[in-house]
Amino acid sequence: MTTEFHDIKFKIEDRVARITLAHPPVNILNIAMMREINEALNDCALSPELVAIVFDAAPDCRAFSAGVAVEEHAEDTIFQMLDSFHAIFRALEQIARPTIAVLDGPALGGGCELLAACDIAVASNRARFGQPEIKLGVFPPVAAVLLPRVIGDKRARELILTGEMIDAAEALRLGLVNYVVPSAMLEGKTL
């Protein structure tokens, strides 16, 4: 099964769904893209044979995701943006299938939150992680819930409150990712 979208690629093959973020250059999560992700997740929910969901980025993108579109934090779009973003996490919880994030570049802000929501993360040694939105005066509510569960309270607070970036080795040490491999081995490790 393959469904065509504008900002993502989505397919279900061999009982595994693959949601590929495909909004170059850095997969900024705008409302339209988040709605597409939610539509793909709705398709996943309707597939009882599905055994896993993989999130990755298209090869022409330099990041897994550089986060949610800053311009959509405006008064006239903030509620749509938050609703679309939070719906992704509600859907993942309701679908209750194993999720795998595959990263060959930065996962920042909302991208890092999506990664934290996944059960398993496979990253290349080029991956970087962080919640830099605090530097814009925006607090990441999903990260405030997920990161303490994944990497511990103190370190989560530090990342959220400072906007500090960490590399793949530190993410592995903290438990934010499960594996760090060379870029050429990402797909093999994922399979």
pLDDT tens-digit series, residues 113-122: 999 999 999 9
pLDDT for the residue 3: 63
The token pair at 20 is: 């590929």
pLDDT for the residue 145: 94
Name the residue among 149, 71, 64, 148 with its Cα closest to residue 114.
64
What is the rounded distance in angstroms from the CA atom of residue 41 to the CA atom of residue 46? 9
pLDDT for the residue 2: 53
Answer yes or no: are the C-beta atoms of 119 and 146 closer than 8 Å.
Answer: no
Beta strands in 44-154 (DSSP E): 52-57, 99-103, 107-108, 120-124, 128-130
pLDDT for the residue 71: 78
Catalytic residue among 113, 158, 164, 170: 113
Q: Is 133 a catalytic residue?
A: yes
pLDDT tens-digit series, residues 127-184: 999 999 999 888 888 999 999 999 999 999 999 999 999 999 999 999 999 999 999 9
Burial class from Cβ neighbours inside 10 Å (0-12, 13-18, 19+) for residue 38 reads: middle
Q: Is 164 a catalytic residue?
A: no
Catalytic residue among 36, 93, 133, 170: 133
Three-state DSSP state, 144: helix
pTM for this predicted structure: 0.94
